[in-house]
Chain A
Amino acid sequence: MSPEPYDRDLTLPPPRLSVGAAGWVRANLFGTWYDGVLTLVCAAALALALWFGLVWVFRDADWGVVATLGGNFAIGQYNTEAACPGKNCFWRPQVVLLLVTMFLGMSWGLTKSGIARTVAILVASAAAAFAFLPYSMEKMGMDVRVLLLANAPALGAGWAIARHTSMSVRWFIILGVAAFLLSLGLLRGLPGMQPVPTIYWGGLMLNLLLAVGGIAASLPIGVALALGRRSRLPVVKVMCVTFIEVFRGVPLITLLFMSQVLVPLAFPEDFPLNSVARAGIIITLFSAAYMAENVRGGLQALDPGQMEAARALGLAAWQTTLLISLPQALRNVIPAIAGQFIGLFKDTSLVYIIGMLDVVEIGRAFILGNPEYLENARELFVFLALVFWIFTYGMSYVSRRIEYHLGVGKR
Chain B
Amino acid sequence: MAQLPRTLTYQGIPVWRHLLVIQWTTQIVSAIVVVALVVWFFANIGGAIQDRDIPYGFSFLSREYQTPIGDHLIPYESSDTFLYALFVATTNTVVVAVAGVILATLLGIVIGVARLSGNWLVSKLALVYVEFFRNVPLLVQLLFWFYLMLTLPTVRDGHVVAGRIYVNNSGISIPWLSGSGGALTWLALAGAAVVIGVVVHRLLVRREVETGRASYPLMAGFAAAFVVGAVSWLAIGAGGEAPFVISLPGPEGRFGRIAGGFTIRAGLLVLLIGLVMYTAAFIAEIVRAGIQSVVRGQVEASRALGLSPLEALRHVVFPQALRVIIPPTISQYLNLTKNSSLGGAVGYAELTNVGITMTQTAPAVSIFILIMLVYLATSLTWSLIGNLYNRYVGFSWG
Interface residue from B136, B151, B339, B372 paired with A374 (Cβ < 8 Å): B151
Are A234 and B141 within 8 A (Cβ)?
no
Mark out the residues of chain B between 69 and 104 whose CB falls within 8 Å of any chain A CB in the assembled complex.
Answer: none
Fill in one digit per residue for A243-280: 1 if any B CB lies within 8 Å of its CB, else 0: 00110111111100110011011111000000000000
Fill in one digit per residue for A343-375: 1 if any B CB lies within 8 Å of its CB, else 0: 000110110110000001001100100000011
Known: A31-B119, A258-B368, A266-B44. A251 touches B375 (CB 8 A): yes
A236 within 8 A of B: yes
Known: A257-B356, A266-B48. A378 touches B135 (CB 8 A): no
A21 within 8 A of B: no
A130 within 8 A of B: no
Closest beta carbon of chain A to B36's beta carbon, Å: 13
Are A381 and B144 within 8 A (Cβ)?
yes
Are B148 and A378 within 8 A (Cβ)?
yes
For B384, list chain A residues within 8 Å (CB).
none
From A34-42, A85-93, A187-195, give the one contacting chain B.
A34-42
Are A389 and B132 within 8 A (Cβ)?
yes
Closest beta carbon of chain A to B107's beta carbon, Å: 16
Known: A249-B380, A388-B136, A388-B137. A265 touches B150 (CB 8 A): no
| Interface size of B in residues (CB-CB distance below 8 Å) | 55
A10 within 8 A of B: no
Known: A43-B121, A374-B151. A396 touches B135 (CB 8 A): yes
For A35, list chain B residues within 8 Å (CB).
118-119
**CB nearest to A243 among chain B residues:** B34
B376 within 8 A of A: yes
Closest beta carbon of chain B to A142's beta carbon, Å: 33
Are A239 and B30 within 8 A (Cβ)?
yes
Are A261 and B368 within 8 A (Cβ)?
yes
Are A388 and B365 within 8 A (Cβ)?
no
Most buried by B among A235, A251, A374: A251
**CB nearest to B24 among chain A residues:** A233
Are A29 and B119 within 8 A (Cβ)?
yes
Interface residue from A38, A246, A346 paired with B376 (Cβ < 8 Å): A246
Are A42 and B122 within 8 A (Cβ)?
yes
B338 within 8 A of A: yes
Instruction: Please report the C-alpha to C-alpha distance between residue A234 and residue B30 in the assembled complex, in whole angstroms.
Output: 11
Interface residue from A239, A346, A378 paired with B34 (Cβ < 8 Å): A239
B16 within 8 A of A: no
B11 within 8 A of A: no
Are A39 and B143 within 8 A (Cβ)?
no
**CB nearest to B30 among chain A residues:** A236
Are A346 and B138 within 8 A (Cβ)?
yes
Instruction: Please report the C-alpha to C-alpha distance between residue A246 and residue B371 in the assembled complex, in whole angstroms.
Output: 13
For B48, list chain A residues within 8 Å (CB).
264-266
A392 within 8 A of B: yes
Closest beta carbon of chain A to B54's beta carbon, Å: 7
Mark out the residues of chain B between 4 and 27 whose CB falls within 8 Å of any chain A CB in the assembled complex.
Answer: 23, 26-27
Interface residue from B131, B144, B365, B372 paired with A393 (Cβ < 8 Å): B131
Closest beta carbon of chain B to A290's beta carbon, Å: 10
Are A381 and B131 within 8 A (Cβ)?
no
Are B148 and A42 within 8 A (Cβ)?
no
Instruction: Please report the C-alpha to C-alpha distance between residue A349 and residue B356 in the assembled complex, in whole angstroms.
Output: 18
Are B147 and A254 within 8 A (Cβ)?
no
B139 within 8 A of A: yes
B125 within 8 A of A: yes
B160 within 8 A of A: no
Mark out the residues of chain B between 121 and 136 whose CB falls within 8 Å of any chain A CB in the assembled complex.
Answer: 121-122, 125, 131-132, 135-136
Are B118 and A251 within 8 A (Cβ)?
no
For B120, list chain A residues within 8 Å (CB).
28-29
For B41, list chain A residues within 8 Å (CB).
266
B140 within 8 A of A: yes
B45 within 8 A of A: yes
For A110, list chain B residues within 8 Å (CB).
none
B31 within 8 A of A: yes
Known: A39-B121, A42-B121, A254-B372. A378 touches B140 (CB 8 A): no
Closest beta carbon of chain B to A167's beta carbon, Å: 33
Closest beta carbon of chain B to A67's beta carbon, Å: 18
B352 within 8 A of A: yes
Fill in one digit per residue for A323-342: 1 if any B CB lies within 8 Å of its CB, else 0: 00000000000000000001
A22 within 8 A of B: no
For A346, list chain B residues within 8 Å (CB).
135-138
Are A349 and B352 within 8 A (Cβ)?
no
For A257, list chain B residues within 8 Å (CB).
352, 356, 364, 368
B302 within 8 A of A: no
B49 within 8 A of A: yes
B379 within 8 A of A: yes
Instruction: Please report the C-alpha to C-alpha distance between residue A396 and residue B136 in the assembled complex, in whole angstroms.
Output: 13
B342 within 8 A of A: yes
Interface residue from A251, A375, A382 paired with B341 (Cβ < 8 Å): A251
Closest beta carbon of chain B to A256's beta carbon, Å: 10
For A388, list chain B residues within 8 Å (CB).
135-137, 140
Closest beta carbon of chain B to A123's beta carbon, Å: 18
Known: A28-B118, A251-B339, A360-B137. A239 touches B31 (CB 8 A): yes
For B27, list chain A residues within 8 Å (CB).
233-236
A179 within 8 A of B: no
For A31, list chain B residues within 8 Å (CB).
118-119
Are B341 and A385 within 8 A (Cβ)?
no
Most buried by B among A28, A264, A267: A28
For B139, list chain A residues within 8 Å (CB).
349-350, 352, 360
12 further A-B contacts with Cβ under 8 Å, apart from A42-B119, A251-B339, A378-B148, are A29-B121, A232-B23, A246-B376, A249-B372, A249-B379, A251-B352, A254-B355, A265-B54, A342-B135, A385-B136, A388-B136, A396-B135
14 A-B residue pairs with Cβ-Cβ distance under 8 Å, sorted by A, are A35-B118, A35-B119, A42-B119, A239-B30, A248-B379, A249-B375, A254-B375, A262-B365, A346-B136, A381-B144, A384-B140, A385-B136, A385-B141, A389-B132
Please provide the 4 A-B residue pairs with the shortest distance between their CB atoms, ordered closest to farther: A377-B147, A28-B120, A251-B341, A381-B144
